[in-house]
Structure 1
Amino acid sequence: MRQGISVAIVAILLAAPSLVVPARAAPGVTTANVNFRTGPGTSYASMGTLASGTPVEVGDCDESGAWCAVSQGDRNGFVSGQYLTIDEDPTAWPRAFTTDGGATIVLHQPQVTAWDNFTDLSALVAAEYKPGKDADAVFGVIGLKGKTQADHENNDVVISDITVTELNFSVLGRDQLGDLSLEVGKLLPTDPITLSMQRLTASLAAYEQLGDVEGLKSDPPPIFVSESPAILVQTEGEAVEAPIEAVDGLTFVVNTNWDLFKVTSSGDYYLRDETSWLTGKSLSGDWQQATSLPEVLSKLPDDDSWKDAREAMPPTPFADGRAPKVVYSDKPAELILLDGEPKLETVPGTALEWVSNTETDLFFYTASKTWYALFSGRWFSATSLDGPWTFATTNLPDDFRKIPDDTPYYTVRASVPGTSESDEARLKAMVPQTARVETDGTITGSVEYSGDPEFKPIEGTELAYADNTQSQVIQVGTKYYLLQDGVWFVGDTPNGPFSVATSVPEAIYEIPPSSPVYNVTYVRVYDTEPGAVWFGYTMGYLGAYLAWDNLVYGTGWYYPPYWGWYGAARYPIYYPRPVTYGIGAYYNPVRGVYGRYGYAYGPYRGIGRASYYNPRTGTYVRAGGSYGPLGSRGFVAAYNPRTGSGGFAAGGHNIYGSWGARGVTGVTGGAAWARSRGTGLTSASAARWRTGVGTAGAGYSAGRRPGDNVFAGRDGTVYRNQNGQWQQRTGNGWGAVKPPATPARTVPQATRPATRPNLPQTPNFQARPNISSHPNIQVPQARNVPSNIRADQFGRQLGNQMMQGQRMGSRPAAPQVRAPSRGGGGFSRGGGFRR
């Protein structure tokens, strides 16, 4: 028998039961000198001998795995499976092991049956057991479970405490069942293992039915369209000008997404666009290129708040000699920026046409002559690009579900209800990022208020939230709960002291979406233990919500920012609130988060930036410089001003990692904690079934192609599909039955971290499209693109270089970062660099 076949448990838990593995060869090698025969048996003629160690390609094997089809060079024949080692194929089933006692255990394609609270994973495996060489195979079901910790930053799930929960072999006696239990237990891994989160969510997405959040809004934002270079300047309400410390005669606009200054002597505005500047008499008026700057601008303080502006002096002329058009809005808005007139490309197999010369997801539906645009996960439609626009997610043409996955715009499928990509996005959004937080008093929370604490009531509840602070403080009765970087603290006064909370009142989880602190309802206590609390948050904490059978960004509600004044000089204080629009948010299926890239929306990624006066330092604090190592470009998770300013850079959204970045010990990511209890396993390649108890059976590791056809039912019944006919194992034979039915699923009223999946009793065997396939993207030829558009496109490129390459656990090398050129050349929008 062949030796040393290691079988990855990642396949046990992740193989999607709906997928059919196509017939294909697996690389293998002979383990002894063996006859190369014309047929599967010793009665067939030998074509010669294959020497031990001969590389071969192994195809289908027979029912018992005794004979396998083999290719060697240009010859095709059969070899005894007993003398083959087949390189591991994690998608091929079934798998077989021979125990030291001579029994054979065959494991068939498993089904993940539940991921309760996204912390406890369960699976069922149809199995065959032969107590001896000449004994008949007995079919049954093995149940497995394990504890999970999601590692979103590495796109992994760590599984620990793997145990057998069920051995359902009705025809075995007590002694035989005990022997089988012992042998199966020997095969299980004893250390934590790591597997791909994307494969896990892909395998569950077809079964999982998650409830939509009630109370989100779908009103369209102001949508502007420009066919020439343009930028979108936004303020929340009327522009508010603030003085700059030690600089007389100059103010800056606090509540905008740009470096925007006003010279008080002339009343002229100066707007920084990269290293170039524009000037205008009013925000909504005409803007011109500024060839020089007033001397007062050179007096900006030499600190991080003004670093970008100081480095842009003297101004650089626009490379193409034209200043971009400035579009102004006093509320969060969106911009469709076109490189000339819309260029339409046919979407194969549909009546859709894709607009290829814009970074907006924009389509034209020829059947109804309607435009469709995607913003923050919501679709809007109009018969003219000039509007009016109406919400369209709930009545998208079916052709959107037919968008091929080998096109540069395929990722919009993640925002099309009813697609597998949308199902997976929704499921992934509910997988919690967890952390173990010690409660020995070394970790405390802190709050800064602008003056005395001010609390506002939360509509529909008896709670109140702190208004004049960037922190999230909720008053519940006489207690005050502070949520800081994914950790709940509790104190007796609004100012603390705050200690780690071991529980959170359920009343907090009744906060409605109309409240600006709604996102706190997505952070929970998941477990407690002596000396520590396990906290976890899902994507709602970062602003992504389940609605309209889709995953969207933002609640759609407008939350007025906080305005206040500090000191005798009357410095304005501005605390922004979460926004839905105005940041160019889009969903990145690989990273599983909403992000923003758009330079046309401002160097600080849109309207949700923070500017406030810090009473401790006497200076303004302007968020924007802490967005990440790629500066103001590249993928940045959609920033929520109420959840910190530095935790979401470069595509990561591990809030708990920000504690360690500040030098705080005692907050350990759940995945890191689980791994630390094992032997340091960190990748799926280290996740193995233990094979030291015996040998892996020949032939089965290659799988019965095309696809394993034996499945486990939750009731302990074993099914198979034989030539299109469903059969059920009864006693020692197979009998015809109807296909296993999928029970109706109950949809919960609202989806929060505590929601448990409602999974079907048996697998859904109908194949479905899957984002795991690697699309063969055709990259369009580069075009000459105006510099302003090119800056946006380069930002998108940096953030999405891994989009096509990082498929189901594959991690390419980090992209090479270079500064964008603002003159000459072109940029290709399609292919792997397109979101």
Structure 2
Amino acid sequence: MRTVTINRRSFLASAAIGLPAITLPGLSASAATPPAGAVPMAAWPHQITQNGAKVTIYEPQTIDWVNHATLRARAAIAITPIGRTAPIMGTIEVSGVTEVDTDNNLVYFSNPTLISSSFPSLDTSQAYTLQTRIAAYLTQMPPKIIPLNTVLLSLNEKPVASAPLNNNPPPIFYSAQPASLVVFDGEPTMAPIASTGLTYAVNTNWDVIQDPTNGGAWYLLNNGTWLVAQAYTGPYQPTGPLPAAFSAMPNDANFGEIRKNVPGKPPAPGLVPIIFVSTKPAEIIVTAGAPAFTPVPQTALQAVSNTGAVLFRYTPTNTFYYLVSGRWFSASSLYGPWTFATPSLPADFARLSPDGAYGNLLASVPGTTAAQAAVLKAQVPTQATLPRSTTKVAVTYAGAPNFVPIPGTAMTYATNTAFQVIGAEGKYYCCYQGAWFVAPAPSGPWMLATAVPPAIYTIPPTSPVYNVTYVQVYNATPAAVTYGYTAGYMMGFVTAGILAYGTGFYYPPYVAYGRVPVYYPYAYTYAGNVHYNTATGAWANTGTVYGAYGRTATAGYGYNPSTGTYARGAAVYGPNGGAAAGSRYNPSTGAYAHGSAVWGNGSASAHAYGYNPTTDRAGSTTQNANAYGRWGSSTVSGPNGTVNTASASNARGSAGAFNASNGAQGAAVHGNNGNNAGAVKTTNGNVYAGKDGNVYQHNSSGWSQYNNGSWQQMQKPTQQSAQANHPNYQKPTTSQRPTTSSQNWSQLNRDQTARQYGGYNRGSYSGGGGGVRRRW
């Protein structure tokens, strides 16, 4: 599994391109020396030519994956010795260890051991000799890359159980004119602004200020314009001159941005927004005038094009469908009432094109390949091995530690701290950044825990510390402890066949009132239009970053008991990271663009997508960076086809790759020491290893089976052919198309789907990055 001690992107920029030679007739026994600084391409098949003979190994197909650590797979192999024109084709079954790079949707497969091989065209002696040589070769094979989604979707996994979540809709506001939604985490919690006499709300990421000396008026900063109301609930209207105390605000990190907007700018004529206010998580839909509808090809759906929300209308029933936090809600009117609709979506949602403007939405449509991939990926742990001697945590409280019961259990949790501290079985356990710590007392001393009580995993979703049940101890040695978390720790939960964000439960904050109140919030499910990124498996919205190991910024605000101040990240940025998003729409041309960016802790990611119906051209790009390098991918499509590009660079060199809708692919590597390498593959790589030991190929006409130098078109198995092992079964004559068992046929179809979808989400090193256009 991926650990924090291994930089996989450095590995990608330093390992070998291609495979070392396999010992076969016409091939030498020595392994090929990989060029220094070259990149191992995830694109399959791998081809090696040595001494006139050629070996082709096709992309492995998963059989099982024990504990996400040991992979058993089968792969098709083709060998063309000197003097032959037709290859010898067969299958191999291997087992090896894996490491998962969830950031790039990749699995690193190493230390393979040959389990068996099958070469139907060879006699027993020839096949045995070949198997011996293949086994010897595998001991020299360097780590290889398989797309994570390909591995997961090839598995015949049982359905993942749903968590007992609350899928009731939040309050959903609608406006056909400019509007904003201000969400308070409960009733406004006010704190003084130095000696100005003003107070400000700490439990919202909006700038809300009250002037007790001016009749208790409430001031709201919205897009550089000040609005005023006599109650925090509104109604708000443009203000006149601001009270003089506004100019006396301290020019520091907390209030510097507010000072820049004093006295503020007047609102543009006719653009004074409606302000909706909620004291619990809520959502808002705003359209630029009456809803504008754009037909979605091959469906009875219409997209609402003049809104930043993900909003559709299903024309047979005139029902609206709204997607937020991975959940669909439906209503006959945009004013509601709304109901949870994910389990009952019209079938047309599953017909959205994976390559189209709404392809990433398929991850939230039950029964689709994208949804299945998201659910399966949510079960794959991200692991970290932490040294016992240097890994520390200092838990702080606002006053004396305050613990309250966790309903339905004998455990308690601390409320007046930003840390997740649980009292269980006479000890205290703190889950911090995906690792468990244990102490004899709430104040410590804290050390890495080698185990946690099983009772912790019974914490219900109604508790604000439920997400810690997705963090486990995987291994412990005298020197280090290995921890891992799955999607639930980052608030991704399985429900109704999809992966949704948040539990749906509202957890009221901890507030201790006083002249300077103490306020600790919990994670929201709503209030931010959260969406899932199918390429990264992360969540993002317009004002919050969700991702990175143990760093979930729920709303950009909270209390620091060490300094007595509040961390106010404003709406879209903070000192350690942030997020932004935007949309543009041109009603005269129908062109639109969507973009988003997230950054923090030395890394960043950005994405944009656009479409112009005048030229029928679309494009998308995703770019990322961290301390070790940068990587990215782009897609451009039009009437003549689609081209995907990908590139990466770091201190060791750079690499680039492309693929096109006609099947052409290419790659190039430039090392910092002058070493270069390149490869181009054609469209003839869609070859599979069957469970029966035969080799199959998939193309636009369906499946073909390799037989003595040629491909024979397959027919779909009938009830008769599905029982080919029955004693009375008679094989078809040579003039008939070959058939196979229904189980083999089903597995081949599953492997083909897995490989195809894996190509969409392999990341920047596969030449397939950007294949799915992501729309936030």
TM-score (norm 2): 0.71
Counterpart of 2:509 in structure 1 is 561
Instruction: Return closer, same or farther for 1:458/1:225 CA change in 2, 3 Å cut-off.
Output: same
Query: What's the CA shift for 1:658?
Result: 12
Aligned pairs for 1:435-514 (under 5 A) are 435-439=384-388, 441-514=389-462
Aligned pairs for 1:96-245 (under 5 A) are 107-108=57-58, 110-127=60-77, 141-167=91-117, 177=128, 180-186=131-137, 190-194=141-145, 196-197=147-148, 204=154, 207-244=156-193
Query: What's the CA shift for 1:167?
Result: 4.1
For 2:63, give the aligned amino acid. T
Counterpart of 1:712 in structure 2 is 690
Tell me the secondary structure at the aligned position of residue 126 of structure 1.
strand
Counterpart of 2:233 in structure 1 is 284
| Matches of 1:525 and 1:515, distance apart in 2 | 21
Instruction: Return closer, same or farther for 1:135/1:287 CA change in 2, 3 Å cut-off.
Output: closer
- Contact map agreement 1:629 1:650 (CA 8 A) in 2: no
- Contact map agreement 2:113 2:135 (CA 8 A) in 1: no
Aligned pairs for 1:741-760 (under 5 A) are 741=743
For 1:299, give the aligned amino acid. A
Counterpart of 1:616 in structure 2 is 562
Counterpart of 1:674 in structure 2 is none
Query: What's the CA shift for 1:314?
Result: 2.9
Matching of residue 251 in structure 1 with residue 199 in structure 2: yes
Counterpart of 2:516 in structure 1 is 571
- Contact map agreement 1:128 1:137 (CA 8 A) in 2: yes
Q: Residue by residue, what CA displacement relative to the aligned partner does 1:431-476 show, whole Å, maximum 9, x if unpaired? A: 332222112x211112111111122222233322212111011222
Query: What's the CA shift for 1:555?
Result: 0.7
| Matches of 1:466 and 1:424, distance apart in 2 | 36
Structure 2 gaps of 5+ residues are: 1-15, 21-39, 545-551, 583-594, 608-624, 629-650, 658-665, 668-678, 697-703, 706-711
Q: Residue by residue, what CA displacement relative to the aligned partner does 1:601-652 show, whole Å, maximum 9, x if unpaired? A: xxxx99834332x34323333345537556655788999xxxxx96997579
Tell me the secondary structure at the aligned position of residue 278 of structure 1.
strand
Instruction: Return closer, same or farther for 1:166/1:489 CA change in 2, 3 Å cut-off.
Output: farther
| Matches of 2:556 and 2:683, distance apart in 1 | 56
Counterpart of 2:714 in structure 1 is 724
| Matches of 1:701 and 1:739, distance apart in 2 | 35
- Contact map agreement 1:364 1:370 (CA 8 A) in 2: yes
Q: Residue by residue, what CA displacement relative to the aligned partner does 1:191-247 show, whole Å, maximum 9, x if unpaired? A: 44555545655x54x844441333111101111101111110111222222223x32
Tell me the secondary structure at the aligned position of residue 224 of structure 1.
strand
Count matched residues.
634
Q: Residue by residue, what CA displacement relative to the aligned partner does 1:162-201 show, whole Å, maximum 9, x if unpaired? A: 4434446798768974663344442566544555545655
Tell me the secondary structure at the aligned position of residue 517 of structure 2.
strand
Counterpart of 1:790 in structure 2 is none
- Contact map agreement 1:450 1:615 (CA 8 A) in 2: yes
- Contact map agreement 1:115 1:122 (CA 8 A) in 2: yes
Counterpart of 2:323 in structure 1 is 374
Q: Residue by residue, what CA displacement relative to the aligned partner does 1:766-804 show, whole Å, maximum 9, x if unpaired? A: 758966788xxxxxxxxxxxxxxxxxxxxxxxxxxxx99
| Matches of 2:317 and 2:442, distance apart in 1 | 57
| Matches of 2:536 and 2:436, distance apart in 1 | 26
| Matches of 2:366 and 2:683, distance apart in 1 | 35
Q: Per residue, is there more strand in 1 or in 2?
A: 2
| Matches of 1:123 and 1:251, distance apart in 2 | 63
Q: Residue by residue, what CA displacement relative to the aligned partner does 1:226-282 show, whole Å, maximum 9, x if unpaired? A: 1111110111222222223x3242111122231111011011111112322211111
| Matches of 1:627 and 1:199, distance apart in 2 | 38
Percent pairwise identity: 36
Query: What's the CA shift for 1:588?
Result: 1.8
Structure 1 gaps of 5+ residues are: 1-5, 11-87, 600-604, 640-644, 661-678, 689-699, 744-759, 775-802, 813-830
Instruction: Return closer, same or farther for 1:833/1:196 CA change in 2, 3 Å cut-off.
Output: closer
Moved more, 356-365 or 621-630: 621-630
Counterpart of 1:264 in structure 2 is 212
- Contact map agreement 1:194 1:682 (CA 8 A) in 2: no
Counterpart of 1:60 in structure 2 is none
Counterpart of 2:636 in structure 1 is none
| Matches of 1:161 and 1:330, distance apart in 2 | 56
- Contact map agreement 2:199 2:209 (CA 8 A) in 1: yes
For 2:451, give the aligned amino acid. S
| Matches of 1:362 and 1:560, distance apart in 2 | 29
Give the one of 267, 278, 283 matched to 1:329.
Answer: 278
Give the one of 596, 618, 633 matched to 2:541.
Answer: 596
| Matches of 2:626 and 2:450, distance apart in 1 | 21
Query: What's the CA shift for 1:352?
Result: 1.3
- Contact map agreement 2:520 2:558 (CA 8 A) in 1: yes
Q: Residue by residue, what CA displacement relative to the aligned partner does 1:140-163 show, whole Å, maximum 9, x if unpaired? A: 542233333333444444444344
Give the one of 382, 391, 402 matched to 1:433.
Answer: 382
Query: What's the CA shift for 1:724?
Result: 2.1
Query: What's the CA shift for 1:545?
Result: 1.0
- Contact map agreement 1:584 1:598 (CA 8 A) in 2: no
- Contact map agreement 1:595 1:651 (CA 8 A) in 2: no
Tell me the secondary structure at the aligned position of residue 509 of structure 1.
helix
Instruction: Return closer, same or farther for 1:366/1:769 CA change in 2, 3 Å cut-off.
Output: farther
- Contact map agreement 2:68 2:98 (CA 8 A) in 1: yes
Instruction: Return closer, same or farther for 1:274/1:811 CA change in 2, 3 Å cut-off.
Output: farther
TM-score (norm 1): 0.66
CA RMSD of aligned residues (A): 4.5
Query: What's the CA shift for 1:556?
Result: 0.9
For 2:183, give the aligned amino acid. Q
- Contact map agreement 2:19 2:47 (CA 8 A) in 1: no
Counterpart of 1:347 in structure 2 is 296
Instruction: Return closer, same or farther for 1:99/1:650 CA change in 2, 3 Å cut-off.
Output: closer
For 1:588, give the aligned amino acid. N
| Matches of 1:9 and 1:518, distance apart in 2 | 46
Counterpart of 1:764 in structure 2 is 750
Aligned pairs for 1:669-688 (under 5 A) are none
Instruction: Return closer, same or farther for 1:109/1:587 CA change in 2, 3 Å cut-off.
Output: closer
- Contact map agreement 1:221 1:334 (CA 8 A) in 2: yes
- Contact map agreement 2:533 2:774 (CA 8 A) in 1: no
Instruction: Return closer, same or farther for 1:184/1:217 CA change in 2, 3 Å cut-off.
Output: same
| Matches of 2:111 and 2:754, distance apart in 1 | 32
Instruction: Return closer, same or farther for 1:426/1:385 CA change in 2, 3 Å cut-off.
Output: same
Give the one of 518, 529, 532 matched to 2:466.
Answer: 518
Counterpart of 2:250 in structure 1 is 301
| Matches of 1:339 and 1:534, distance apart in 2 | 51
| Matches of 1:632 and 1:616, distance apart in 2 | 30
Matching of residue 548 in structure 1 with residue 496 in structure 2: yes
- Contact map agreement 2:759 2:768 (CA 8 A) in 1: no
For 2:500, give the aligned amino acid. V
Give the one of 330, 340, 343 matched to 1:391.
Answer: 340
| Matches of 2:742 and 2:386, distance apart in 1 | 44
For 2:743, give the aligned amino acid. A
Instruction: Return closer, same or farther for 1:172/1:536 CA change in 2, 3 Å cut-off.
Output: farther
- Contact map agreement 1:489 1:498 (CA 8 A) in 2: yes
| Matches of 1:407 and 1:515, distance apart in 2 | 39
| Matches of 1:225 and 1:368, distance apart in 2 | 20
Q: Which has the higher contact order (CA 8 A, sep 6+)?
A: 1
Tell me the secondary structure at the aligned position of residue 186 of structure 2.
coil
Query: What's the CA shift for 1:478?
Result: 1.7
Instruction: Return closer, same or farther for 1:313/1:702 CA change in 2, 3 Å cut-off.
Output: closer
Instruction: Return closer, same or farther for 1:213/1:684 CA change in 2, 3 Å cut-off.
Output: farther
